[in-house]
Structure 1
Amino acid sequence: MKTIRLTYLILSSLITFSCSSNDDAIEPNPEESLYFPPINSDIWETKTVTELNWNQDQLQSLLDFLELKNSKSFIILHEGKIVVEEYFDGHTNTSPWYWASAGKTLTTAVTGIAQEERLLNINDKVSDHIGTGWTSAPLEKEDLITCKNLLSMNSGLDDSLGDNISPSNLQYIADAGDRWAYHNVYAKLQDVVSAASNQSWSNYFNVKLKNRIGMTGSWIQNNDFNVYWSTTRSMARFGLLIYADGKWESEQLLPSDYLNDATNTSQNLNESYGYMWWLNGKSSYRLPQTQIQFNGSLVPNAPIDMYCALGRNDQKIYIIPSKKLVVIRMGNAADDDNFALSDFDDQLWLRINALID
């Protein structure tokens, strides 16, 4: 009996170990299902709406809406693969278009890379890198402004003097950290990175970000600051990098802890704003050119975990971790000219939801 009992215990242990090992072996790894397009090729794998069990009958109404609303291009990625890619009004997959303020997030990303390389710290004073006199604020007030204030849009500089960021247009209105205002002064971070790296902004950007994920495009100067132009797929590549927590394939290009900070509330004045990323699902938000606080979520029809890059006249990068999606829209203003957010976002998400839910 002892021999039989011992044999039973050994077999039971082996079965338990085997089951445990099998469970570990089949546990899914989200990174394994994430696709990255080749860096030196325009080949991009696809999925179909049918494969994902989305509502095929809702796709055409979404595309009709996009065309009606002056879109140039539209892409939906699921786990990195293209599910929807459409072009309108003579635009093609090789046509460049401007990112407008959606490109602010490129500056966010490169600033994080420069910090990881210990070229700077976002808590540094801006003047530590580019010298004093870059604003018209009194020196003791200019001295309060850090790189993080520029990332968070709470520099305290007057946002009502136009797009130009020459010193005469950068005037004191409040102490840094005391007032949130959407402002092109963020572009001074490009000067900071250039000074800290001892090379041009474009060169550092190309080497550290653009070339490493296969983007095309270039910075074009407008009103004393740079605007990025690229194809829609290049915008999608950047969105995929951010969705992948700063990784491209197995290489960590952007520090994940910095990216986490960038895509969460960065200050206590506008809880729907990170480091130039807009955040959905918060209880209130503020918009450019106003000091009014609005109650409710930024885009009520969109998933609450969505964060996004929003540019003038409805340039969009939406990232939705819970749905495994990156969504891109480029084009002219859907309705009236706007700084970033418009009613178009909510109406577009009403139709995206009809497709994917």
Structure 2
Amino acid sequence: MFQSPRISIIVLLVFCTISCTKKYTTIDPITEMPLYFPSTTSEVWDHIPASYLGWKEPILNNLYTYLESKGTKAFIVLKNGKLVIEKYFGGFGITDNWYWASAGKTMTAFLVGIAEQEGKLKLQQRSSLFLGTGWTSLPAAQEDQITIEHQLTMTTGLDDGITDADCTLPQYLKYKASPGSRWAYHNAPYTLLDKVIEAATGQSFNQYFSTHIKNVIGMNGIWAKEGYNNVYYSNARSMARFGLLLLAGGKWNRTAVLGDTSYIRKQVNSSQPLNPSYGYLTWLNGKGNYMLPTLQTIFRTNLIPNAPADLFAALGKNDQKLYVVPSEKLVIIRMGESANQPTQALSSFDNELWGLLKDAGVF
């Protein structure tokens, strides 16, 4: 029987409409999934293939070549808590430990939040209550103006231009400006937060950290004294675990490791107007300008232009990186040698890396 071309066209249009509608309304199973948390007693960690997420394998291969050429030891990408990428280079492996450098600062800030939640301290308390009078070379009246929050935000006003900015001895802690009036990346006042926590809790820093963070989320590693600094060493997965804890807003599965959501918000948002790209010992993207260690220069751009605006990060010397992107449910970590010229925090590696991740369809 002869069929009208008009009828055929109508049938075809109906078929296409149904097919197209079905494709359009398909819900991405990943973005709808709750966060996954790996076991805290084993190495079991669920994976998602990059191809399932639609990430571009050829560009990912270029990314791996780039990472290896930049001295990377370990690189991990989590999506919704699950492993998508886990790569090791140069003989480094899943059980090997590496230093976090200043990326560990973000963990210390988190621990201060736990101590405050437990009523052991308050951020507005003067630091001398825990460090004792004379912890700086300042007169007592000036010294007492410095609070724990100033230590968390790099705004103590102490002079970072001395010969050894890591030194925590009083004679190296000199007045430069009123607390809260000047942002300067200064290791010594940060390092003394360890002593604040010890005095407030009556426990060693390592013990308090292990009880309240490390053991709860299944990390390995230890804080080790190196000169005046206290540096964390762990395997790459442990860094990823802490990133997942941050992504989850301080919760691990059903456990509220840090239940004070107001503190979490403060940690990952601008803590002061002097350097809006800095929270509580945490670097922030998307703020329009930023400052860097050792400089008083204001850079009029986002911290990492190629990255999502809501990214926040723990950044350490020689390109130790822990990135968290809440909007994309991403945690990305990188451990290794310096990718370029040695730096304390940000380097050109950050923007180059995020450019490759963007090209690969990771976000």
Match in the other structure for 1:22: none
Task: Specify the code of the residue in structure 2 equivalent to 1:55.
Answer: K
Task: Specify the code of the residue in structure 1 equivalent to 2:270.
Answer: T
Match in the other structure for 2:110: 109
SS at match of 2:43: coil
CA contact (8 A) 1:99 1:315 kept: yes
- TM-score of the aligned structures, taking structure 1 as reference length: 0.90
Match in the other structure for 1:4: none
Q: Shift in Å at residue 31 of structure 1?
A: 9.1
Separation in 2 of the partners of 1:144 and 1:123?
A: 10
CA contact (8 A) 1:160 1:289 kept: yes
Task: Specify the code of the residue in structure 2 equivalent to 1:164.
Answer: C
Match in the other structure for 1:6: none
Match in the other structure for 1:270: 275
Task: Specify the code of the residue in structure 2 equivalent to 1:226.
Answer: N
Match in the other structure for 1:330: 335
Q: Shift in Å at residue 342 of structure 1?
A: 0.4
Runs of at least 5 residues in structure 2 that lack an aligned partner in the other structure: 1-26
CA contact (8 A) 2:33 2:80 kept: no
- TM-score of the aligned structures, taking structure 2 as reference length: 0.89
Separation in 2 of the partners of 1:253 and 1:279?
A: 22
SS at match of 1:329: strand
What are the within-5 Å matches in structure 2 for residues 63-142 of structure 1?
A: 63-142=64-143
Separation in 2 of the partners of 1:331 and 1:180?
A: 28
Question: Which deviations, in whole Å up to 9, do the C-alpha atoms of 1:121-166 show, x marking residues without a partner?
Answer: 0111101112111111222211110000000000001112222222
CA contact (8 A) 1:75 1:85 kept: yes
Task: Specify the code of the residue in structure 1 equivalent to 2:180.
Answer: G
Separation in 1 of the partners of 2:292 and 2:283?
A: 10
Q: Shift in Å at residue 194 of structure 1?
A: 0.5
Runs of at least 5 residues in structure 1 that lack an aligned partner in the other structure: 1-25
SS at match of 2:77: strand
Identity of aligned residues (%): 48
Match in the other structure for 1:284: 289
Separation in 2 of the partners of 1:333 and 1:160?
A: 24
Separation in 1 of the partners of 2:169 and 2:226?
A: 12
What are the within-5 Å matches in structure 2 for residues 164-243 of structure 1?
A: 164-184=167-187, 185-243=189-247
Q: Shift in Å at residue 97 of structure 1?
A: 0.3
Separation in 2 of the partners of 1:43 and 1:136?
A: 51
Question: Which deviations, in whole Å up to 9, do the C-alpha atoms of 1:231-273 show, x marking residues without a partner?
Answer: 0000000000000000000111112211111000001100100
Question: Which deviations, in whole Å up to 9, do the C-alpha atoms of 1:59-97 show, x marking residues without a partner?
Answer: 110000000111111000000000000011111011100
Separation in 1 of the partners of 2:247 and 2:292?
A: 24
Match in the other structure for 1:3: none
Distance of aligned partners of 1:29 and 1:43 in 2 relative to their CA distance in 1, 3 Å threshold = closer
Separation in 2 of the partners of 1:350 and 1:127?
A: 45
Match in the other structure for 1:13: none
SS at match of 1:33: coil
Distance of aligned partners of 1:156 and 1:348 in 2 relative to their CA distance in 1, 3 Å threshold = same
Quick one: which of 237, 250, 255 aligns to 1:251? 255
Separation in 1 of the partners of 2:243 and 2:36?
A: 13
CA contact (8 A) 1:70 1:334 kept: yes
Separation in 2 of the partners of 1:232 and 1:306?
A: 20
Match in the other structure for 2:323: 318
CA contact (8 A) 1:69 1:333 kept: yes
SS at match of 1:295: coil
CA contact (8 A) 1:166 1:224 kept: no
After superposing on structure 2, the runs of 4+ consecutive aligned residues of structure 1 that deviate more than 3 Å are 28-32
Q: Shift in Å at residue 47 of structure 1?
A: 0.4
Task: Specify the code of the residue in structure 2 equivalent to 1:181.
Answer: A
1:350 aligns with 2:350: no
Distance of aligned partners of 1:31 and 1:37 in 2 relative to their CA distance in 1, 3 Å threshold = farther
Separation in 1 of the partners of 2:359 and 2:335?
A: 21
Distance of aligned partners of 1:193 and 1:258 in 2 relative to their CA distance in 1, 3 Å threshold = same
CA contact (8 A) 2:270 2:279 kept: yes
Separation in 2 of the partners of 1:97 and 1:238?
A: 15
Q: Shift in Å at residue 196 of structure 1?
A: 0.8
Range with bigger deviation, 58-67 or 167-176: 167-176
Separation in 1 of the partners of 2:290 and 2:239?
A: 25
